[in-house]
Chains A and B, each alone.
Chain A
Amino acid sequence: MKEIALHVLDIVENSVAAGATRVDITVCEDSSDDTLTIVVQDNGKGMDQDLLERVSDPFVTTRTTRKVGLGIPLLKAAAEACNGYLRIESTLGKGTRLEARFQRSHIDRMPLGDLAGTLLTLLVAFPQVRWVFRHVVDGREFCFDSEPILKELDGVPLTEPIILSFVKQLLHEGIARVQQNIG
């Protein structure tokens, strides 16, 4: 994957596959402690200890657990290559929390990439899920919650041209606002 935003798009689909109705995605950049952290928290069906231990291992998971696949091992490798880590906590029946941390200034850290494009794709592809997105850069914060928007739309799909423009602009402006002054 060439962007962190693409990893995010990829791994949150595990949450959707786990039947989550709400997924919280947090992207946090902190230049003082030189970290970039991604947290994905869902209310899906969760994993038992056995599966939890296997999800990070591509050689086990790709062959035995079709639902998990390569997404997590790829993100884990990317984070670890940048002095970071990947942690997953999960409770059966409650949900899963995944945290990936990167050294922000690490030479191998791929760019954050097109977060707005990732979010728009998720909103269009999985309208049944409530997406809550938080982007924090050195204390500046952008929050996006799909629920009030879908409620207001009341059945009119996001893919109507003017609605699409509106949501796209909302995401682009919000993300640009928190990312100003940062490389």
Chain B
Amino acid sequence: MPQIKSLEELKRLREEALEKRQARTVAGHAQVVVGMGTCGIAAGARDTMKAILEFIEKENLSGVVVTQTGCIGLCEWEPIVEVTVGGGPKVTYGKVDPEKARRIMKEHVVNSHVVEEYVIPS
């Protein structure tokens, strides 16, 4: 049964993750929300989500909360990504393809600089 073997491995990885979590966490807490309504998915939200997860994996970023939201009524701006870092304001980015997602992760989530050019104008 491969499943049981992998669960043992998971147990070990969990311990490792816990240690790393204490050692290296993004400044404050970062929350990344991806719009995943029908409009978001049709516009490519899954690949945006994938790029975000791959960034977390590659950069070994601990403590980033990634979640989803449904349609927020700005379908023409999908894929939409909302980022909140520490006590900062929620920033809503529009038309976020994987490339833009990686830049937002690098500049905003890691270095706390809002990527102004991708922000949805209000």
Chain A residues in contact with chain B, CB under 8 A? 1, 6, 9-10, 13, 17, 69-71, 74, 114, 117-118, 120-121, 124-126, 143, 148-149, 152-154, 156-157, 159-166, 168, 170
Question: Is B120 on the interface with A (CB-CB < 8 A)?
Answer: no
Q: Which residue of A lies closest to B62 (CB)?
A: A160
Given contacts A13-B36, A114-B46, A118-B46, contact A161 B61 (CB under 8 A): yes
Q: Which residue of B lies closest to A3 (CB)?
A: B46
A17 CB contacts on chain B under 8 angstroms? 70
Q: How far is the CA of A11 from the CA of B44 in the complex (A)?
A: 15
Nearest 10 CB-CB pairings of A with B: A125-B68, A160-B17, A161-B60, A161-B57, A10-B41, A152-B10, A71-B38, A159-B66, A121-B49, A70-B38
Known: A69-B37, A125-B49. 16 other contacts (CB 8 A): A9-B46, A71-B38, A117-B47, A125-B36, A125-B67, A125-B68, A149-B10, A153-B10, A153-B14, A156-B14, A160-B62, A161-B20, A162-B13, A163-B13, A163-B14, A168-B53
Total number of B residues with any Cβ neighbor in A under 8 Å: 37
